[in-house]
Amino acid sequence: MPFKDNLQRLMDARHWQPVHLAAAVCDIGGQLLPVTIERWLSGECNPHSASIYLVAQALGVTPNDLLLDIDAAQSASSCADNSLPVIEENCKPEGVHA
């Protein structure tokens, strides 16, 4: 499941539209336009890593929840070799403090 599908699934679970996600990002100190979120959802473009971090924070999930193929992750968890890529939850650059 690509980023856009994961984002849509997580927004749908909260009954959010792009304007709601943009407001949630603003609440945590970020800046994101609803039209940008609409472009991600349409597949027209993909977010930068900093935006993924902010969106994950606003949604209360990890960046992995936005980036990983959920179906593949569930299939791989039943295999002996569980070698899915892991994205660090704290993806702020070294030396950056909250």
The whole-angstrom separation of Cα 36 and Cα 66 is 16
Task: Report all structural domains of the chain as residue ranges with CATH numbers, in order of start.
Answer: 3-73 (1.10.260.40)
pLDDT in tens, 52-65: 999 999 999 999 99
Structure tokens at 84: 């899915």
Give the pLDDT score at 69: 80
DSSP state at residue 78: T
pLDDT over 90 percentage in the chain:
66
89 against 56, higher pLDDT: 56
Residue pointed to by tokens 């993806």: 91
The whole-angstrom separation of Cα 47 and Cα 2 is 12
- Per-residue confidence at 88, pLDDT binned at 50, 70, 90? very low
pLDDT at 78 over 50: no
- Per-residue confidence at 70, pLDDT binned at 50, 70, 90? low
Q: What is the mean pLDDT of residues 80-93?
A: 43
- One-letter amino acid at 73 equals A
